[in-house]
Amino acid sequence: MTPPKKKRAATPTGKETREKAAAPTTRGTRQTVARKQAAEKVGVAQPAQGLQRPRKSRQRVPKSGAGEDGQNPFRSAMRRSRAPEPATMVIFGATGDLARRKLLPAIFGLWQDGLLGSAFNIVGVGRQEMTDEAFKDYALEALRTSRETDEIQPGSLEKFRELLYYEYGEFSGDEVYEKVRTELDRAEAAHGGRKNALFYLSTPPSLFEPISSGLGRLGLQNESEGWRRLIIEKPFGRDLASARELNDDIHRVWDESQVYRIDHYLGKETVQNLMAIRFGNAIFEPLWNRSFVSHVQITAAEDLGLEGRAGYYEEAGVVRDMLQNHLMQLLTLTAMEAPAAFDADAIRDEKVKVLRAVKAIPRGRVNSVAVRGQYGPGTMDGETVPGYKQEPGVKRGSRTPTYVALKVEIDNWRWQGVPFFLRTGKRLPKKVTEIAVVFKRPPLGIFPGGLERNVLAFRIQPDEGVSLKFSSKTPGQEMELREVVMDFRYDAFGAQLESPYSRLLLDALLGDATLFPREDEVDHAWQIVSGLLDAWEDEGAAAPDFPNYPAGTWGPDEADTLIGPDRRWRRL
Ligand SMILES: NC(=O)C1=CN([C@@H]2O[C@H](COP(=O)(O)OP(=O)(O)OC[C@H]3O[C@@H](n4cnc5c(N)ncnc54)[C@H](OP(=O)(O)O)[C@@H]3O)[C@@H](O)[C@H]2O)C=CC1
Ligand SMILES: O=C1O[C@H](COP(=O)(O)O)[C@@H](O)[C@H](O)[C@H]1O
């Protein structure tokens, strides 16, 4: 959907309009009581001011979990009791794919649930000349068409429309930031005299520095009139040197406490559940170490191909796109020590310790611990699909990897000798993300047949849940064992899982950086993958022939050798 280009009209942004529009749908006491009763029935504590999110129409919510009012009581239990202060969210790159598909729906969902506080407005900023009205039309159309949008309550879109404004200009000049400042000034009265602002950089990475500096030139990072925060999209740099340079550039303007580097995997409910299960239960932690764990497998498989993102992906490849950020985050959460408290610094300190303990992968070690691949033509769900090189926008001789498998060793007491195998790729047979902790075999076999390894698997997506695989006696006269699975599925809660972006946006508005990678995390993650990037981008003759796996298969055969001989990738 291309935004309509129109001449800019005079901005009709009276404060009355803002005050009126800022009030989301009110909720009656009757409903709140019913939710509370329903929650008590199923044993869920209610937060002080928990608010209910309506069901999304696009996902099935099992009846068993619903409260008396037909809504899901667990939703309110997941909500914070604190509302953000009045604020303006300024989205640079508001006409882009991410804003359209994910950000606007996430903000709309939060607003419709009444979670954005008493006053809130959004200023989209782009390079395209457009009126406020045209942007409002554009945003509402995005909400109507995005698969991420919550069920739209009657009248909601019309009210939400009143929160939206648009500015445009050259991101290298000053004018556009002056317009942003004017927007913050205008919002001040409706926002109780505060000028809180959350700036979201949803642009190509080459614009992160110019926008950060532009805001700085106008003093918009200054917190004297309200808090100011900066969300930065991924990728944060394209290698260690550029990530450090970007960090330095950002820090010339912003204090680290104002910076929120987003990794949407951390906003996934099931990723957070990893911490909940590890540190909210006593039974797992004693087993979570080299004495009991054989190895860990972390998989982020995607069935999709490029989806029209060749321009970006040809530059990035799978190591920058998925491994350096999402998979490294999953690794840290799986391997970290228990933090002293559930707060941003304590958690991020522990995550960094894991990354620092990862055994270095210098160029010379790369080919013994890592495998890369690129998909060729193949079959997915019975349909023939093109190979990577045949995707629109990809160079015919492209050497960009779309698959990587990596063996990570963590040199600390807990994990000495326990390999972590990470794999991710595009055009694999299905979309599935999973962390599997594979335990050692029992020391002695007293039953007929071989001994199997128990597996505790965290299913991040889809079919979110946790399963434990163990051996059990089969019914009958013989002492015959077979592997069985005990399954907890998230939908047992009857809950609609929150979009990671809404979780993270609300956290940023509340000033909670727990689920945002800190500068040292990003730096260490780059250090780990640098060897791979260096070796593979400069390898010449030793490079494998691409393509080396057909679309619709689980990647190159070398990945099986990497994990073997006594271990197998899980069949997912
Ligand atoms: N799309 C996705 O699913 C994901 C995206 N990201 C990250 O989010 C960010 C945004 O991605 P995405 O929305 O896909 O990107 P897009 O290319 O769709 O556009 C982003 C925005 O930046 C604007 N823009 C692009 N080039 C310039 C320029 N030279 N000067 C001024 N404005 C410009 C675009 O304006 P215009 O509309 O005029 O082109 C658009 O508003 C990127 O950093 C990306 O890596 C991260 C994870 C997933
Ligand atoms: O950041 C990215 O993530 C998506 C996968 O995210 P998921 O939430 O659908 O698992 C990936 O497709 C994309 O290439 C990458 O940029």
| Through-space distance between the first and last CA atoms of the chain, rounded to whole angstroms | 35
**Residues carrying CATH 3.40.50.720, the chain:** 84-233
424 marked among binding-site residues: no
Q: Considering only the top CATH level, what class is 84-233?
A: alpha beta
pLDDT, one tens digit per residue, over 12-37 is: 333 334 433 443 433 322 233 333 33
**Residues carrying CATH 3.30.360.10, the chain:** 266-563
**Cβ(88)–Cβ(58) below 8 Å:** no
24 cis-preceded (ω within 30 degrees of 0): no
- Residue 91 neighbours by CB distance under 10 Å: 26
Cα separation of 129 and 144, whole Å?
A: 23
pLDDT at residue 541 in the model? 57
Interface predicted TM-score of the whole assembly (ipTM), two decimals: 0.98
pLDDT, one tens digit per residue, over 102-152 is: 999 999 999 999 999 889 999 999 999 999 999 999 999 999 999 899 999
DSSP code of residue 455: E
Residue 123: in which H helix or E strand, if any?
A: strand 120-126
Instruction: Flag whether pLDDT at 61 surpasses 50.
Output: no
pLDDT at residue 449 in the model? 87
Tokens of 360: 């270095």
Atom 9 of ligand 2: nearest residue by CA position: 302
Q: Which of 127, 130, 208, 209 to mutate to test the pocket of ligand 1 (most atoms within 8 A of CB)?
A: 127
CATH superfamily membership of 266-563:
Dihydrodipicolinate Reductase; domain 2 (3.30.360.10)
Which of the pair, 7 or 425, is modelled with greater confidence? 425
**Cβ(405)–Cβ(562) below 8 Å:** yes
420: β partners? 296, 408
Q: Which of 203, 207, 324 to mutate to test the pocket of ligand 1 (most atoms within 8 A of CB)?
A: 203
Tell how far the Cα of 520 is from the centroid of ligand 2, in angstroms: 23
- Residue 99 neighbours by CB distance under 10 Å: 23
**Cβ(532)–Cβ(394) below 8 Å:** no
Query: Which atom of ligand 2 sits closest to the CA of residue 302?
Result: 12
Residue 269: CB within 6 Å of ligand 2?
no
Residue 302: CB within 6 Å of ligand 2?
yes
Cα separation of 84 and 142, whole Å?
A: 25
Tell how far the Cα of 57 is from the centroid of ligand 2, in angstroms: 23
pLDDT at residue 417 in the model? 98
On average, the pLDDT of the chain sits at: 87
- Residue 556 neighbours by CB distance under 10 Å: 22
Find, among 95, 61, 9, the residue nearest to 497 by Cα: 61
Whole-prediction pTM: 0.88
Tell how far the Cα of 170 is from the centroid of ligand 1, in angstroms: 15
Residue 98: CB within 6 Å of ligand 1?
yes
Instruction: Flag whether pLDDT at 404 surpasses 80.
Output: yes
What ranges in 67-167 are assigned the alpha helix state H? 73-77, 97-98, 104-112, 132-145, 156-161
